[in-house]
Chains A and B, each alone.
Chain A
Amino acid sequence: MIEVRELRRVFGGVVALDGVTLTLAEGERRAVIGPNGAGKTTMINMLAGETAPTAGTIRLAGRDITRMRPWQRARLGLAHVYQRTELFASLSARDNVGLAVAAHRGPYRVFRAVPRAEYAEGEAVLGRVGLAGRESVAARDLSHGERRQLELAVALAQRPRVLLLDEPTAGMSPLETARITELIAGLDRTLTILIVEHDMDVVFRLADRVTVLHEGRVIADGTAADVRGDMRVHDVYLGKAVTVA
């Protein structure tokens, strides 16, 4: 479903991502882990089209999307949950998901109200993420946890084929984290998911395979069990004396 080849990104003189190759099968759930500055968010932003790669290619379902703009990728079925909440602050939760529901129907529909069926579709998604009863609240008036739930609802309302999750549980309480994790775990198995996450419980609950990034390179890649046993990963995570020349 996703094929990343030799992806590289240099910011000024700093190499954020140094030739990453990665393949996700359709329906696969892949976690990308690594310490801060490993290049995880840079990679997810390049997949979403928000950061242009310095070199390398990205393919989505066989199609080269390396040079496509974010909105074009979204139309091909890519949805992105940002690390920092990106919502429509003054709009209600209903309208936040409504814009996602309406995206593939196009915005050039004038002189009639938003169809009820569209609202109903959006409200069903809000119910799934646990925001039933909060439909009319403006995004900026929701709690932090609720905003993260809404963020996920917006992405799901796009009916994506590929879901890019950049720390979906960041800043959530343990209870909220558990809920969102179960929600993601229960998503349709045909949906391909790439998740960047620091919480190892979440990673091992959700991921079929885990890729470990360190200083812009893949240092381990395998099933969750493989990676758990890989000593280098422990070193990177526990901050032991790892020096990469």
Chain B
Amino acid sequence: MRPLLRWALVAAAAVALVTFPYWSAPWVSRFATTLVRDALILAMFALSLDLLVGRAGMPSLGHAAFFGAGAYAAGITGQRLGTDQLPVTLGAAALVGALLAVVIGVLVVRSEGIFFLMLTLALAQIVFAIAFQWTALTGGSNGLSGVGRPVLAGIDFSAPDLMYVLVAVTFVLAALVIWGLARSPYGRALSGVRENERRMRALGYDTARLRLSAFVIAGTIAGIAGALSAYSTRFVSAQDAGLANSVRAFVTVLVGGAGTLGGPIVGSALVSLIERVVPSLLPTDLRISEAILGLVFIGFVLFARQGMVGLGRSAYYRVQHR
């Protein structure tokens, strides 16, 4: 009964999330739908990064390369092929994310720790530079505007509420995929790589291949998140592939709690609130959301390494053992 109950709760939460614009209208402004939509895109992006950072112990500071590549792939294939078909543009984003992850992954998976961090950062900066300079393809510093919203089986996702539904459904699917990976023998093998790669090799695991596979899965999901961002804002900026976006995903993972399913999700909620809601509460000459985010990040690193999920768990533990 208990697992069944849990599944029922998860399903109910998923339905509530996907239908958010339709039941929330009486209580909150239209802005809320946009806010939640963008938070879900960030959550998907952060979940894919957490597969590397939290599960496999690969601290990538270049994850925006895949997000940006997916966003450009969706926008450019749509415009060049003159199609709004979701399978085409989203498929292109996933494919480009995966291929880029193979190329970068092959170069980085044998390095560890700070070297891994610097290599992913440097390679992502190359991707950013290409996006920024190749004006004919990407629009360069002007960005790529006029990205079309997709169409699937006669459903046109142009309307804001339907666009939201597309994002929410994709997010739920991505979260299910990550959950399914994490609890499987594959997910446990990634934990083994994180905890002691040398030991994993001694047990007969080809750890370079394991790490590469995680890198490609993460790149693919990040590419899909990028495409959803391009559809949502109808725009791709070179900054989408830039360092600030990589850092944003990293902060989201760590603030929420690395190596957990809930962490990147609650992290993205907090980051979105700080970025989008807090500034409107502050006087106009004091809109310093990045500084606030930085302070929150420092606070978590110093006092709550396990993130919001860790804080929640220890609070729950204290209540249970009172």
Please tell me if the beta carbons of B202 and A74 are within 8 angstroms of each other in the complex: yes
Please tell me if the beta carbons of B189 and A86 are within 8 angstroms of each other in the complex: no
Q: Could you tell me the distance between the alpha carbons of A98 and B191 in the complex, rounded to whole angstroms?
A: 12
Assuming the A-B contacts A98-B188, A99-B188, are A75 and B204 also in contact, with contact meaning beta carbons closer than 8 angstroms in the complex? yes
A204 within 8 A of B: no
A11 within 8 A of B: no
Q: Could you tell me the distance between the alpha carbons of A48 and B198 in the complex, rounded to whole angstroms?
A: 11
B20 within 8 A of A: no
CB neighbours (8 Å) of B189 from chain A are: 99, 102, 107
Q: Could you tell me the distance between the alpha carbons of A102 and B191 in the complex, rounded to whole angstroms?
A: 13
B156 within 8 A of A: no
Please tell me if the beta carbons of B205 and A107 are within 8 angstroms of each other in the complex: yes
Assuming the A-B contacts A86-B198, A89-B196, A91-B192, are A74 and B184 also in contact, with contact meaning beta carbons closer than 8 angstroms in the complex? no
* A155 CB to nearest B CB, Å: 9
B206 within 8 A of A: yes
* A173 CB to nearest B CB, Å: 25
Please tell me if the beta carbons of A87 and B196 are within 8 angstroms of each other in the complex: yes
A29 within 8 A of B: no
Q: Could you tell me the distance between the alpha carbons of A79 and B201 in the complex, rounded to whole angstroms?
A: 11
* B127 CB to nearest A CB, Å: 28
B294 within 8 A of A: no
Query: Which range holds the interface residue count of chain B?
Result: 20 to 34
CB neighbours (8 Å) of A102 from chain B are: 185, 188-189
Q: Dominant SS at the B interface?
A: helix
Q: Could you tell me the distance between the alpha carbons of A80 and B213 in the complex, rounded to whole angstroms?
A: 26
Please tell me if the beta carbons of A158 and B204 are within 8 angstroms of each other in the complex: yes
CB neighbours (8 Å) of A111 from chain B are: 180-181, 184
CB neighbours (8 Å) of B195 from chain A are: 87-91
Please tell me if the beta carbons of B203 and A103 are within 8 angstroms of each other in the complex: yes
**Chain A residues bordering chain B, tally (CB within 8 A):** 36
Please tell me if the beta carbons of B196 and A109 are within 8 angstroms of each other in the complex: no
Please tell me if the beta carbons of A107 and B210 are within 8 angstroms of each other in the complex: yes
Q: Which of B189, B198, B203, B207 has the most CB of A within 10 A?
A: B203
* B202 CB to nearest A CB, Å: 5
Selected contact of A95 from candidates B186, B191, B204, CB within 8 Å: B191
Please tell me if the beta carbons of A95 and B188 are within 8 angstroms of each other in the complex: yes
Selected contact of A88 from candidates B191, B204, B213, CB within 8 Å: B191
Within 8 A of B (CB), among A83-108: 86-91, 95, 98-100, 102-105, 107-108
CB neighbours (8 Å) of B196 from chain A are: 86-89
Q: Could you tell me the distance between the alpha carbons of A69 and B187 in the complex, rounded to whole angstroms?
A: 23
Closest residue of chain A to B181 (Cβ to Cβ) is A110
A237 within 8 A of B: no
B contact set with A: CB distance below 8 Å: 180-181, 183-189, 191-192, 195-196, 198-207, 210, 213
A contact set with B: CB distance below 8 Å: 48, 50, 69-72, 74-75, 79-80, 82, 86-91, 95, 98-100, 102-105, 107-114, 118, 154, 158
